[in-house]
Amino acid sequence: MNISVEIDARSGFCGGVIRAIEGAEKFLAEHPGEPLYSLGEIVHNEEELNRLSARGLKSISRLEEADATVLIRAHGEAPQTYQKAKRLGIPIKDFTCPVVLKLQESIRDAYSRVKTEGGAVVIFGRRGHAEILGLQGQTDGKAVVVESVEMMKEAVASGAVDVSRPIELFSQTTGSPSVYAAVQDYLGCVMSDRNLLKVHSTICSQVLSRHEQLSEFAFSHEVIIFVSGRQSSNGKVLFDLCRAVNSRSYLISSAEEVDPEWFRDGDRIGICGATSTPRWLLQEIASKILQLV
């Protein structure tokens, strides 16, 4: 079968994930035999987690599970996490993404402004996502989280968000630009005074540029193989974008999931992934495809 395979040059770890993983690897190399615990998965990619686990990184869900240094991943944490670590005497290695740190600070400042006026901080993002939990923590859990325009409408209808009071709107750093824009438009239409709405541009610039570039990449290939961990929020958003442009888009998390039935003679196959997908995995999948066909 005559095919071509191209790996998207822009796919792979974002800067924040690279910083956290390199920090973990450096710590483990400098402290042989000493455990390092990641509070939550350092990256939403099963293959990369297995690689780091072999080097000694252990994922935990609660600080109480640690008996040595704990790594704070790029997603960030709520202030309460740091307070608890201090009480428990647990050392922290903080690798929160600088973009997320700036967003946390902005949300704290916004909450201090609106709470005295009965207003609300609204965050667009996936409920329960690690980054969102850290962002909500900046408001003592009072921020309203919405995943869609429909959820925004429900929050307004229920009174959880009062459109006659000040509202400051933020997005998770990896949120969908198009859906965030739709949430903004809806609020702008229903606010009693448009001046009471303050919209913050908080989607990571790497994510914003990826959307336009990835649309072009998906359009220019007959088949798209999108590689992402099943728990990656960014992966879901980007895969949906690819599939909207190219119906022959397939989501996989490892080379073993590649199906030769997806390919036809003459196909140009594009391989791309989420900001949590390692470059080595994209290369491994490209090699597997070439072997199969």
Which residues are identified as catalytic?
Answer: 131
Return the percent helix, strand and coil in the chain, to nearest 5: 50, 15, 35
Q: In this structure, what are the phi and psi dihedrals at residue 146, rounded to the nearest 5 degrees?
A: -130, 145
Cα 273 to Cα 187, 201, 217, 229, 251, distances in angstroms: 32, 24, 12, 9, 9
**Per-residue b/e over 54-74, b at no fewer than 16 CB within 10 Å?**
eebbebeeebeebeeebbbbb
| Residues in Cβ contact with 81 at an 8 Å cutoff, skipping those fewer than 6 apart | 39, 63, 72, 134, 137
| Residues in Cβ contact with 275 at an 8 Å cutoff, skipping those fewer than 6 apart | 12, 13, 14, 17, 174, 206, 207, 210, 234
Q: Residue 12 — left, alpha, or beta (φ > 0 → left; ψ -120 to 50 → alpha)? A: left
Closest CA to 120 of 93, 147, 160, 91: 160
